[in-house]
Homo-oligomer: A and B are copies of this chain.
Amino acid sequence: MTDDEPTSTGDMESPVVYDLDPECTLDEVTEDGLYLATVNGVVEYGVFVDLSEFVSGLVHESKLDGEYEIGDQLVVDLEDVRENGDVSFRSVDIENYELESVAHEYDITPVDKLEDAVGSTVYLAGQVVQIKQTGGPTLFHVRDESGIVPCAIFESAGVRAYPEISVEDYVRVSGTPEHREGAIQIEADSLTALDDEEATEIEARLDAAVEERAAPADVDPLIEWEAFEKLRPDIESVAKLLRRTVLEGRPIRIRHHADGDGMCASIPVELALERFIEGVHEDPEAKRHLFKRLPSKAPFYEMEDATRDLNFALEDRERHGQKLPLLLMLDNGSTEEDTPAYETLRHYDIPIVVLDHHHPDPEAVEPLLTEHVNPYLYDEDYRITTGMMCVELARMIDPEMTDELRHVPAVAGISDRSAADAMDDYLELASEVGYDPDELEDVGEALDYAAHWLRYDSGRHLVNDALNVGCEDEERHHELVDFLAEKSRNEIDDQLEAALPHVEHERLDNGAHLYRVDVENDTHRFTYPAPGKTTGAIHDHKVEETGDPVITIGYGPDFSVLRSDGVRLDIPRMVTELDEEIVGGGVSGGGHLVVGSIKFVKGRREEVLDALVEKMAEAEIDEALSSTKSSV
């Protein structure tokens, strides 16, 4: 309640007279209070007065002092409420008083109680998170502490109701909850922007509720692993941000690496988020509108993908009044190559979160990110795979998924050749739910193979079946994995058979074996496995055949893929040097000690490769280094 000046004397002993808001009801009138009333009728035996729109009654002439006309104000107190509901007041003769306005105490119904109030009038207070103009009514999606519900208001023929109200505003809605297409929707009579005081109060309440509901589930680690625990606070922070994002009605888009580990990372998070969205939204279609997952074909976030994502997001905002999404990058996103795409999105309200285990460039990316989780930031490395991190992340979002996910970290680890000590524990965990190491490898191989043919599709169901997360038929899972893994191996064998006779060998000065293959001329093109995986398969074959140290170069017209076992290649440094040394070579690329790729201008290929090999011949031998046992 706030002070109001008109007839206030400032005298602390003046009695208080209450001025009721028009919405106040008789429940808000007490027997010992004084009220400001307005005459709305004069009759022989007294006057009728209004205290609010809903509180009226008679002041009998015997309780009345003086003459009144319609519109006159006087101070009254409550005399009687009869059984039939008639109310009578007494005029109170008072000159100095302090006037206090009484706000109506709305009987607010929380979103998660609307089901019980279907058909009756309710009030709702919360924040607008989406405004969708349909051909008919305007749909305001309003969130409170307990959920999000669409409120339909009809102005006229596709015309925006309450154009002064925007997404993020705090409002009070009065209306009737109805089943519409089966879901709860409020057929609203009115929508009122809250004043600052009320808004601040609701905001605080919603914030407190979000703070509480966004808290990640407190799950025990699947295995004990000290190194991993260093990252846990970061992952919890992402879990909280994602839950908050859902609670605030903002869409989420995942872009992930299209390989085994990328799938092990994104599928669990996808399911966890969809289930959480279902719990928050009254609209059962919400998970379709608010969540989308897509693979990236490149190992980084390409401008073309970013432009397309932005365009879809802007289209959704215009057509459906949605907020712009949060972008969640999984198993890629940590490198400098991602920055042009991030910079494009930065001009719009699109927070970006990265979970990755590839060698990061924090200086380049972190200014553009809301959260960045990467084991290298904690002096750990690729051995903590993104799939391992995301299984924990998914469990923090939806702890009930735990049982479905026990085999997933092992698949992720095997897919990305993680040499982590913890792999033993993960393998043990997987074996408890029936997976031996061969089967886990098959699952990884199947995911890789499926990802290749799916190209730009998320391949949702097929991939769920291959990973056995959200899969309905375990027998099919096993059959499918057997089939896909075998297809994958056969096609890799075919590729090796074609390629191996063409591989050129030389011995470098540092004693390393160097193998080169022209993936354009000497392998099957436009099929599985693609050049990167083909080079890897040749390298692994040669390491097994020869023993360390081995370097393999798979080169195409304007690129090459590099792999090393037992030789320390500082690939980023090599790229920088090549770019300086070879004028017009246009050399760029990335990677780390044992894995990398280089792009160059087609016409300078020989020069670039020769210079590269020279550098490799001078590189230090370090038998501990292995790409055969690391992620590509």
The interface of chain A, by Cβ under 8 A from chain B, is 115, 134-137, 154, 156-159, 179-184, 282-285, 303-304, 307-308, 310-311, 314-315, 317-318, 340, 343-344, 347-348, 450, 453-455, 457, 459-462, 476, 479-480, 483-484, 487, 494-495, 497-502, 518, 520-525, 528, 558, 583-586, 599, 601-604
Contacts and interface: CB of A to CB of B under 8 A. Distances in A.
A304 B182 CA distance: 38
Contacts of A523: 586, 601
A135 B285 contact: yes
Given A157-B115, A318-B461, A462-B311, A520 B602 contact: yes
A497 B181 contact: no
A261 to B, nearest CB: 20
26 contacts: A115-B157, A134-B182, A135-B181, A135-B283, A154-B179, A156-B182, A158-B284, A158-B285, A159-B182, A307-B454, A308-B454, A308-B457, A314-B462, A347-B476, A347-B479, A347-B480, A348-B476, A494-B586, A498-B585, A499-B584, A518-B603, A521-B603, A522-B584, A522-B604, A523-B601, A525-B558
Contact of A347 (B181, B308, B344, B483): B483
A502 B136 contact: no
Nearest to A133: B284
A502 B487 CA distance: 41
Contacts of A315: 460-461
Contact of A601 (B182, B344, B521): B521
B136 A457 contact: no
B183 A135 contact: yes
Contacts of A453: 303-304, 307
A311 B457 CA distance: 9
A115 B156 CA distance: 9
A157 B284 contact: yes
Contacts of A501: 583-584
A347 B586 CA distance: 48
Contacts of A584: 497-502, 522
A583 B497 CA distance: 8
A283 B135 CA distance: 7
A308 B456 CA distance: 10
Contacts of A137: 182
A558 B525 CA distance: 8
B340 A487 contact: yes
B135 A461 contact: no
Nearest to A558: B525
A343 B490 CA distance: 14
A522 B601 contact: yes
Contact of A183 (B158, B450, B586): B158
A311 B460 contact: yes
Contacts of A498: 584-586, 601
Given A135-B183, A343-B483, A524-B558, 10 more contacts: A136-B182, A136-B183, A158-B284, A308-B457, A315-B461, A343-B487, A348-B476, A502-B601, A518-B603, A522-B601
A280 to B, nearest CB: 14
A136 B476 contact: no
Contacts of A314: 460-462
Contact of A134 (B115, B181, B282, B599): B181
A457 B312 CA distance: 10
Contacts of A135: 181-183, 283-285
A134 B347 CA distance: 37
Contacts of A304: 453, 455
A291 to B, nearest CB: 14
The list of the 10 closest CB pairs from A to B, nearest first, reads: A136-B182, A501-B584, A158-B284, A498-B586, A521-B603, A314-B461, A135-B181, A136-B181, A307-B453, A522-B603
A121 to B, nearest CB: 20
Contacts of A487: 340, 343
A180 B159 CA distance: 13
Given A498-B601, A522-B603, A601-B498, A154 B182 contact: yes
Contacts of A525: 558, 602
Given A304-B455, A502-B603, A157 B483 contact: no
A230 to B, nearest CB: 36
A271 to B, nearest CB: 13
A586 to B, nearest CB: 3
Contacts of A462: 307, 310-311, 314
